[in-house]
Amino acid sequence: MESEESILSELKPVKDLNALTILNNMINEGDNVPLKTDITNPKYLAILKTISHVLKLAEYDTPSNYIEFFIDNLLIYRISHLRKSRIEIKEVLCSQIALEKDKRKIELES
pLDDT at res. 48: 93
Contact present, 36 and 30 (Cβ < 8 Å): no
Question: What band does 97 get if pLDDT is binned at 50, 70 and 90?
Answer: confident
Residues 6+ apart with CB under 8 A from 78: 37, 38, 39
User: Mean pLDDT lowest for which of 2-16, 38-52, 89-103?
Assistant: 2-16
pTM of this prediction? 0.49
pLDDT at res. 103: 80
pLDDT at res. 36: 61
Tell me the per-residue pLDDT of 33-89, one tens digit each, with 9 for 90 and over. 555 666 778 899 899 999 999 999 999 999 999 999 998 888 877 766 666 666 776
Where do the structural domains in the chain lie, given as residue ranges?
A: 13-30+82-110, 39-78
For 38-56, letters b (16+ CB in 10 Å) and e give: eeeeeeebeeeeeebeebe
pLDDT at res. 60: 95
